[in-house]
Amino acid sequence: MTRCSLCGKSSRLISRALRVCLKCIRSQPGEALGVAFRAHEQSRSADGLPIEPPKDPQGRSCSLCVNECRIAQGGFGYCGLRKNEGGKITGVSRQRGKLSWYHDPLPTNCVGDWVCPAGTGAGYPKFAYCRGAEYGYKNLAVFFHACTFNCLFCQNWHFKRETSKNKTASVHRLAGDVDARTACICYFGGDPSPQLPYALNASRLAIDADSDRILRICWETNGSMASDLLDKMMDLALESGGCVKFDLKARDENLHRALTGVTNRRTLENFERAAEKFDRRPIPPPLIASTLLVPGYIDAQEIRAIAGFMAAVNPDIPYSLLAFHPQYYMSDLPLTSREQAHQCLAAAKYSGLTRVRLGNTHMLV
């Protein structure tokens, strides 16, 4: 049981690290964000990352994501990848990145497996190797070791141990691991956003190396990238039969900032921008979304707001609600309950979306 620092309420659904309840985040956002920021400060400091996006007026600019860092001499950007050395930005590039990868047999536990070619055969024969699930093929899962957000509930937080290491991998090495049985490449992490020039370069190299066969390019992202990079991601997904999966963490900006440390304005703008291309290839869908059902914070009201936003953009965009597993600075919260999950599912369906599902149902309690 944790007591909210503002209203004094005690509940097992209040994060010990965050120390503020959902009601206070919504009703007293100024005070609540002040409390929440201390949790982000602690976590960022522990991982050796800048507490806030640097805004040095004399610094070097990086415009790859929403944070739009201005990095002081000798300092790093918010993602921890780029450094200002002698007035030049050093670190990862189109040619070298901080990442790891592995082959995953298809069909895999992808968030989009219920609508994508690998799991359903959607788009056969142009985008899928068979009419059903692609057994016998594999996915090249590419995990980036950095992120543009600071989610206190991060399910893959271990990447932060790798961000500060000097080890990088060449784009040709990654592209060279695409073999004849690789049906798709999926970029996730962390997040692809701070290393998109590398990912886009690797994707094009892999496609051009064997242009006469199916090789889908897919992305799982928080959607915080620069809009021109989003356009290139969407174009690659459309061309190859892949998709861009947005993780819409919250609709309410104050709640989003409390949970992730960063605004969601760019994410929502980019989602609308990506949706403009949805009807160019509705099968398989080039754009999907998901939300993690964090107990105590992502409730039916929040899901109704997210789903309503999506439905207003395009009601046919697939939406997955995902069960939460306690991780990182929110490891004291419980698993998502069946009651919460079904309330959220009903709220999403009521919004007007035509394709909504619960994922990770084996984790519900």
Q: Decide if 250 contacts 153 (C-beta within 8 A).
A: no
One DSSP character per residue, 340-365 reads HHHHHHHHHHHTT-S-EEEE-GGG--
Phi/psi for 310 (5° steps) reads -65, -45
pLDDT of residue 166: 87
Name 167's Cβ contacts closer than 8 Å, sequence gap at least 6.
98
Asked if residue 197 has a cis previous peptide bond (ω within 30° of 0), the answer is: no
Q: What is the CA radius of gyration of the chain?
A: 20
Assign a CATH topology to domain 96-363: TIM Barrel (3.20.20)
Q: What is the sign, positive or negative, of the torsion defined by CA atoms of 160, 166, 171, 177? A: negative
Query: Quick one: 104 exposed, middle or buried, by C-beta within 10 A (0-12, 13-18, 19+)?
Result: middle
3-state class of 296 per DSSP? Answer: coil
Q: Residue 277 CB: number of other CB atoms within 10 A?
A: 16
φ, ψ for residue 266 (rounded to 5)?
Answer: -65, -40
SS3 131: coil
> What is the pLDDT at residue 164?
87
pLDDT of residue 243: 97
How many Å apart are CA 91 and CA 63, to the nearest integer? 15
pLDDT of the chain, 365 residues: tens digit per residue: 999 999 999 999 999 999 999 999 999 999 999 999 999 999 999 999 999 999 999 999 999 999 999 999 999 999 999 999 999 999 999 999 999 999 999 998 889 999 999 999 999 999 999 999 999 999 999 999 999 999 999 999 999 989 988 899 999 999 999 999 999 999 999 999 999 999 999 999 999 998 999 999 999 999 999 999 999 999 999 999 999 999 999 999 999 999 999 999 999 999 999 999 999 999 999 999 999 999 999 999 999 999 999 999 999 999 999 999 999 999 999 999 999 999 999 999 999 999 999 998 999 99
Task: Tell me the CA distances in angstroms from 217 to 71, 122, 340, 355, one per residue in order.
Answer: 32, 15, 33, 22
For residues 351 and 110, give the distance between their C-alpha atoms in angstroms, rounded to a whole number.
25
3-state secondary structure (DSSP) of residue 195: helix
Give yes or no for a contact between 171 and 202, defined as CB atoms under 8 angstroms apart. Answer: yes
Could you write out the DSSP letters of every residue in 50-81?
A: -SS--B-TTSEE--SBTT--EEPTT-B-TTS-
**What counts of helices (H) and strands (E) characterise the chain?**
11, 16
Residue 142, helix vs strand vs coil:
strand
Tokens (6 digits) for 232: 């290139």
What was the pLDDT predicted at 46?
94
Alpha-helix residue ranges (DSSP H) falling in 87-191: 117-120, 160-163, 171-176
Query: Which residues lie closer than 8 Å to 138 by C-beta, 6 or more apart?
Result: 103, 104, 105, 106, 181, 182, 183
What are the CA-CA distances from residue 27 to residues 33, 294, 347 (Å)? 11, 19, 22
| For the chain, domain boundaries | 1-46, 50-91, 96-363
Residue with tokens 């960022």: 44
Reported as a single tens digit per residue, the pLDDT across 219-274 is: 999 999 999 999 999 999 999 999 999 999 999 999 999 999 999 999 999 999 99
